Amino acid sequence: MSHNTFGHLFRVTTWGESHGPALGCVVDGCPPGIALTEADIQPWLDRRRPGQGKFVTQRQEPDAVRILSGVFQDAATDARSGGQVTTGTPISMIIDNIDQRSRDYSEIATAFRPGHADYAYFAKYGVRDYRGGGRQSARETAARVAAGAIARKILAGVTIRGAVVQIGPYAVDPAKIDFSVTGDNPFWAPDPDIVPIWEDHLEKIRKSGSSTGAIVAVEATGVPAGWGAPIYGKLDAELAAACMSINAAKGVEIGAGFAAAALSGEENADEMRMGADGPLFLSNSAGGILGGISTGQPVTARVAFKPTSSILSLRRSVNEAGEEIDLRTKGRHDPCVGLRAVPVVEAMTACVLADAWLRHRAQTGGGAHAPGAI
C-alpha cells in the first residue's frame, strides 16, 4: 500500500477531492479478456450513492462512471472477444462531481471540526482543501466501489455480501443473520426484525442533529483454499488494512474476532471432517483464514464505524490561528455513515481477494492441493 494506491498485482490508485471537478481511479494489473463496460460498474455505484433516503446525506450525485482506458471492442476480432473486454492495460475510471453546491465554506476554512481530519491534514501539509472534506470526504469511496466492481469480475465463483449488523447499541442477533435479505430494507439489515428498531433510533438521531456508529459485516463465499500468504502477506492482514482505510473505520475483526479473546481453545479451534469437495470445517471461528491463508470456508469480517463527526451540537475546538472557538457543523450530512459503508466494505474485500488470487496464481500456478488427491 502506497499513500493512494493499494494492492500488489491488482492495484488501485484513487484520486480526487469532494469539490474538485472529478474523482476517479486507475486499476492496473487486471487480467485481459474480461468483458467490461460501464454497465458492469454503474450498478455497484448506484448502491453506494448518497441521496437515497432520509437517513443518508442529501447530496445528489448521479455518480456516472466513464471508462477512459484499458478496454477495447475489437471489431476485427469480435467473434473471438464477444464485445468490449479488458486489454490488460490500466483501466482509468472517472466520475464527475456534479453537485458541488456553491455554499459558503468560509466558516470552516480555518477552523478544525472536532472528529474530522481537518487539524491532522493541516498539521501535516499546512494546506488543505476544506470544501466538503476535500480528500478526506467519503466521496473518495466511490472510486473504491468502481474498482471493486472490476475485482468482482475477476473473482468468478466468489460471492461477496455485506450487511449492517449493528447501529448504535442495537445489534442484530448473529443467529438470525441472512445476507440474502439485506436488499429488502433501506438499512442493509440482514434480519427484518431489527428494521423498526433501527428506524426508530435513526429518526431520533436525525431529529436531534446527532449521529450514531455502526458495524458492518461482510462474507465472501466460494473462496478456494490457498489464497493469502505467510506473515506480512496474510489475507487477514491485507483485509484489515483495506477495511481500516475506509473513512470512519475504527476496528476490523476476522471470524470470531474480539470475541475469541474470551473463548477456550476447544470453543475456538474449528474441527474438520471430510466433505464431498474437500475438508469441511464444523464451525468457522477462524473466519475462513488460518495462518493468513484461506481454508475454503467463507471469509468473514466485521468493521466498526464511528458516528459521523458532523453534528449540530455546538462543540469546542480551535482554528488555524490557534484561537479557541465553538463550532457547529452545518449542512447536509449522514446521521450514520456506516449505512453507506456496506458497498465500500464489499468493494475492498473484492479488491483484496482479487489481488490475493493473482498473487496465489503467480507463486503456485493457482490450484489448491486437495487431501487424498496425491
Nearest CB to a copy of itself, comparing residues 1 and 178: 1
Give CA–CA dist 49/200, Å, rounded: 23
Please tell me the distance from the alpha carbon of residue 187 to that of residue 362, in angstroms, as a whole number.
Answer: 39
Q: How many CB atoms lie within 10 A of CB 254?
A: 22
At closest approach, how far in Å is the CB of 161 from a copy of itself?
20
Q: Which is nearer to a copy of itself, 59 or 116 (CB)?
A: 116
CA distance 56 to 180: 22
C-beta of 76: minimal distance to a copy of itself in Å?
Answer: 3
Whichever of 180 and 373 has its CB closer to a copy of itself, that residue is: 373
Nearer to a copy of itself, 43 or 80 (CB): 80
Non-local CB neighbours of 297 within 8 Å, separated by 6+ positions:
270, 281, 284, 286, 287, 288
Q: Which is closer to a copy of itself, CB of 180 or CB of 301? A: 301
> Minimum Å distance from CB 137 to a copy of itself?
10
Interacting residues of 124 by C-beta distance below 8 A, sequence separation 6+: none
**Contact at 8 Å (CB) between 187 and 198?**
yes
| Under 8 Å between Cβ of 219 and 298 | yes
Distance of closest approach, residue 59 Cβ to a copy of itself, in angstroms: 18
Least Å distance, CB 21 to a copy of itself, is 5
Do 227 and 8 form a contact (C-beta atoms < 8 A)? no
Instruction: Quote the cell numbers at residue 67.
Output: 471508462
Q: What is the DSSP letter of 367?
A: -
How many CA within 13 A on the CB side of residue 92? 6
Residue 180 vs 302, nearer CB to a copy of itself: 302
Question: With contact defined as beta carbons under 8 Å apart, do 256 and 302 qualify?
Answer: no
Minimum distance, C-beta of residue 188 to a copy of itself, in the bound complex (Å): 14
